Amino acid sequence: MKILVLNTGSSSLKSCLYDLGSQLPDNPPEPIWEAMIDWSKHTGYAEITVKLHQEKNIQEEVVANSRTEIIQRMLATLWEGETAVIHSPSEIDVIGHRVVHGGNKYQQSILIDAEVKQTITELAVFAPVHNPVNLEGIETTEKIFVNVPQIAVFDTAFHAHLEPAAYTYAIPMKYTHQGIRRYGFHGISHQYCRDRAAKLLNRPVTDLRLITCHIGNGCSLAAIRNGLSIDTTMGFTPLEGLVMGSRSGSIDAGILIHLLRQPDMDVEKLDRLLNRESGLLGISGLSPDLRPILQAIAEGNSQAQLAFDVYVHSLRSHIGSMIASLGGLDALVFTAGVGENSPEVRAAACQNFEFLGLQLDHLKNQQRGRDVDIATEESKVRVLVIHTQEDWQIACECHGYRQSPK
Ligand code: ADP
């Protein structure tokens, strides 16, 4: 079964192709083809990179007149030229699309039809940057892969079972009825980490209290009990919760009121300030990327140190809040760019939870490993580092659909 996955963003698009049998393998296999479009490098150009299994990358830079044309060109490398892995588009069995916002309506992945597309369009009011480009990916593949079933896999769906106490904001209920509530994001990654953690710990998901820490450019935590997300740090938008690379995370809403009253401020500027100019970048004045921050700390830069300290303070306090929602903790899971690669952040986050009997094995924490337990044997809480594989999670959803169409 050939499953094509598309993860369409505003400045980049990632796609991959899996070739699977009727049974899903225990460990995620390598895709047989991977491609990426990067629109962010030079204005007016897009860079297409195609990676073939165990072979070197093929790259080309093309004039970016129309995004759809570039996506078509990238997809054509599946069956054309030296990168070809299939003979024609008709060989694809099913296509999975990451869709950021599924609102209240979609609590699981769904076969895309005209009504689903309409709903994704309507939900763009909640996700103006993401849902329209997700839809663009869907409409482009629809034209190329005619009659191939397409599945929407939502970033919000994993958090669909939050209780009202966890999703309701304390504002007049008429706004809640308009859809202003906590949705939560990164659900595909949190779900993948839940299943992978259960596998690594050799315990059923229904038996575990987990906190999954997705710490990348965007950062969020999920509190998972009996396999369900019962609390999460991102909210109505992906701006709430943890301090992130360039996003502020949760701040006093009074600050927004104060800033909007200033004569030189407007909604667009505030949006940019909170989403692109804050977080690690805002405090350090250096970068949204943790690596140059750590480098600057080593060189004695006090602003970089403050940025790191605020980041860690936010991470610890939100982990504490997730523990309170769970009422206990069996495993703390670190994933995504920072979670997988920064022993400094993992050690700092864990340090204040030693009172729970959580003990990090500092040697294991320093070693680079994929899908490993870095707690000591005696630790009462397991600490896992898991390489998140959102594309694989999307492929698994599609595989389930093919086996038993919903
Ligand atoms: P996204 O959230 O966009 O998917 P990633 O999960 O790839 O992003 O995370 C990207 C971030 O991971 C970078 O901005 C950087 O801060 C961090 N990162 C990547 N590698 C390292 C590393 N070796 N040490 C510290 N941070 C890292």
Query: Tell me, what DSSP letter sits at residue 246?
Result: S
Query: Please, what is the end-to-end C-alpha distance for the chain in angstroms?
Result: 18
Q: What residue's CA is closest to ligand 1, atom 21? A: 341
Please list, in sequence order, all residues whose beta carbon lies within 8 angstroms of the beta carbon of residue 164, skipping any fewer than 6 positions away: none
- What confidence score (pLDDT) does residue 85 get? 93
Q: Give me the DSSP letters along 270-305.
A: HHHHHHHS-HHHHHHSS-SSHHHHHHHHHTT-HHHH
Q: What residue's CA is closest to ligand 1, atom 14? A: 289
Which element (helix H / strand E) includes 61?
A: strand 57-63
Q: Which domains does the chain have, with CATH numbers?
A: 2-154 (3.30.420.40), 203-385 (3.30.420.40)
- What confidence score (pLDDT) does residue 64 get? 73
Q: 104: which 2 tokens?
A: 């209240």
Please list, in sequence order, all residues whose beta carbon lies within 8 angstroms of the beta carbon of residue 181, skipping any fewer than 6 positions away: 167, 168, 169, 236
What residue spans of 102-151 are helical by DSSP H? Answer: 114-122, 131-144
**Backbone dihedral region of 220: left (phi > 0), alpha (psi from -120 to 50 degrees) or beta?**
beta
Query: Tell me, what DSSP letter sits at residue 30?
Result: P
CA–CA separation, 218 and 220 (whole Å): 7
Tell me the mean pLDDT per 10 residues along the chain, length 406: 93 94 90 92 86 75 85 94 92 97 94 97 90 95 96 97 98 97 97 97 97 96 98 96 97 98 96 96 97 98 98 98 98 97 98 97 93 98 97 94 62
Please list, in sequence order, all residues whose beta carbon lies within 8 angstroms of the beta carbon of residue 84, skipping any fewer than 6 positions away: 77, 78
> CB–CB of 333/193 below 8 Å?
yes
Q: 313: which 2 tokens?
A: 């303070």
Expressed in angstroms and rounded, the spacing between residue 217 Cα and the centre of ligand 1 is 6
- What confidence score (pLDDT) does residue 404 get? 61
Q: In what side-by-side order are the strands of the sheet with 331-335?
A: 228-232, 219-225, 209-215, 331-335, 382-385, 372-373
pLDDT in tens, 312-347: 999 999 999 999 999 999 999 999 999 999 999 999
- What confidence score (pLDDT) does residue 403 get? 63
Distances (CA, A) of 98 to 15, 28, 331, 396, 397: 10, 18, 27, 12, 11
Catalytic residues: 155
Question: Is 10 close to ligand 1, i.e. is its CB under 6 Å away?
Answer: no
Question: Is 362 close to ligand 1, i.e. is its CB under 6 Å away?
Answer: no
Is this prediction's pTM over 0.85?
yes
Residue (of 88, 326, 351, 340) closest to 213 by Cα position: 340
- What confidence score (pLDDT) does residue 149 get? 97
- What confidence score (pLDDT) does residue 369 get? 83
pLDDT in tens, 200-258: 999 999 999 999 999 999 999 999 999 999 999 999 999 999 999 999 999 999 999 99
Mutate to test the pocket of ligand 1, among 341, 344, 365, 388 (most ligand atoms within 8 A of CB): 341
> CB–CB of 250/373 below 8 Å?
no
Question: Is 220 close to ligand 1, i.e. is its CB under 6 Å away?
Answer: no
- What confidence score (pLDDT) does residue 57 get? 76
Question: Is 238 close to ligand 1, i.e. is its CB under 6 Å away?
Answer: no
- What confidence score (pLDDT) does residue 405 get? 54
